[in-house]
């Protein structure tokens, strides 16, 4: 009787170990192109976030610029200068030529994930030594900030 009981227990243990499903990385759904929060998966050219294609007009959009000007004054100016000079964070001069619109807007709206995953964001952290806090920017505010950066870089 004991032999049968041991055989049954060993068989059950073996069966429970076989056929296990492979676990997916946290935040990844069955669709390999998106994460659990619906954002597209990481791409180094645009970073980590929901912005995959930002349409940019040749000239400055005045309404978006006005939004960006307000956001910069309230949430950004205490850490970022409009020159190349570092304050707490890096200076903004030339930022639109160094990064894509998608990367900048994803960084502005998905700061923590970008710092954790993106090599360019990590390199900036090594220089500045202070993590940028999440400013909880809306999509409209992030787009406004990008327009503000474009104007700062000489786009008319």
* Fold observed for domain 32-41+51-152: Cytochrome Bc1 Complex; Chain D, domain 2 (1.10.760)
pTM of the complete model beyond 0.85: no
Question: What share of the chain has pLDDT > 70, as a percent?
Answer: 74
Domain limits, the chain: 32-41+51-152
Q: Is there a contact between 24 and 12 (Cβ–Cβ < 8 Å)? A: no
User: Which residue matches tokens 């474009």?
Assistant: 150
Confidence at 34, pLDDT banded by 50, 70, 90: low
Q: Say which range, 41-45, 48-52, 106-110, 143-147, has the weakest mean pLDDT.
A: 41-45
């Amino acid at each position: 009787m004991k032999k049968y009981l041991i055989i049954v227990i060993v068989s059950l243990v073996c069966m429970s170990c076989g056929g296990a499903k492979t676990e997916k990385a946290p935040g990844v759904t069955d669709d390999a192109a998106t994460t659990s929060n619906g954002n597209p998966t990481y791409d180094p050219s645009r970073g980590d976030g929901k912005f995959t294609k930002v349409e940019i007009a040749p000239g400055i959009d005045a309404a978006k610029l006005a939004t960006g000007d307000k956001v910069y004054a309230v949430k950004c100016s205490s850490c970022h200068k409009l020159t190349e000079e570092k304050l707490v964070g890096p200076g903004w001069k030339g930022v639109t030529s160094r990064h894509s619109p998608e990367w900048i807007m994803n960084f502005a709206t998905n700061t923590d994930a970008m710092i954790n995953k993106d090599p360019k964001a990590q390199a900036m952290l090594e220089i500045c030594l202070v993590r940028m806090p999440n400013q909880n920017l809306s999509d409209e505010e992030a787009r406004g900030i990008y327009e503000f950066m474009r104007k700062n870089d000489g786009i008319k």
